[in-house]
């Protein structure tokens, strides 16, 4: 066993502080402290980097093929644009997190959080409704509020 010396200050009868040396024993345990599979698998930096690479690869492939399906692109075009797609999704996620934190902070500080939340949801619903209606107003989109008249055929 090795002994380590630790210096601590103790007050004497006067205002002066004296240094007192104490000897501490290093306790060395001769076995496993925590039982179970904790010590069986050692995760080194290489193993962690490999698992991070695998999960990142799967996420990027999923984002690329989701974007290709959603936009109606070929897989080749989406793969070429993979860096742009990943940066776009990261920016969107960052904005959602930022504005979510701002919204939560404002709800905590307001006097009437239910009213503020109801007005926010009403505003977001109005934006979505107006966006859908404006998208239908373009020609060839099938506006459900437009009455189509049948024209008689010319002979």
For 51, the 3-state DSSP assignment is helix
- For range 125-153, the mean pLDDT: 69
pLDDT at residue number 92:
96
Cβ-based neighbour number of residue 85 at 10 Å: 19
8 Å CB contact between 64 and 85: yes
Nearest 5 degrees, angle CA 133-CA 138-CA 141? 85
pTM score of the predicted model: 0.52
Tell which wins on pLDDT, 140 or 61.
Answer: 61
| Closest CA relative to residue 60, chosen from 27, 89, 95 | 89
Residues 91 and 81 sit within 8 Å (Cβ to Cβ): no
**Mean per-residue pLDDT, 81-107:** 94
H-helix segments, the chain: 45-71, 75-80, 82-109, 113-136
pLDDT in tens, 38-73: 555 565 677 778 888 999 999 999 999 999 999 999
Average pLDDT over the chain, rounded to whole?
79
DSSP letter for each residue of 96-131: HHHHHHHHHHHHHHSS-HHHHHHHHHHHHHHHHHHH
Higher-scoring residue by pLDDT: 151, 87: 87
């Amino acid at each position: 066993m090795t002994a380590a010396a630790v210096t601590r200050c103790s007050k004497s009868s006067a205002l002066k502080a004296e240094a007192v040396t104490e000897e501490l024993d290093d306790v060395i345990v001769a076995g496993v402290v925590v039982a179970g599979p904790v010590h069986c698998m050692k995760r080194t930096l290489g193993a962690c980097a490999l698992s991070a690479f695998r999960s990142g690869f799967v996420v990027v492939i999923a984002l690329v093929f989701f974007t290709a399906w959603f936009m109606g692109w070929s897989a080749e075009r989406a793969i070429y644009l993979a860096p742009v797609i990943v940066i776009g999704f990261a920016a969107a996620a960052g904005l959602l997190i930022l504005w979510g934190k701002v919204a939560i902070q404002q709800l905590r500080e307001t006097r009437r959080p239910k009213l503020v939340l109801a007005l926010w949801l009403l505003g977001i619903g109005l934006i979505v409704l107006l966006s859908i209606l404006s998208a239908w107003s373009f020609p060839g989109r099938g506006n459900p509020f437009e009455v189509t008249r049948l024209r008689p055929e010319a002979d």
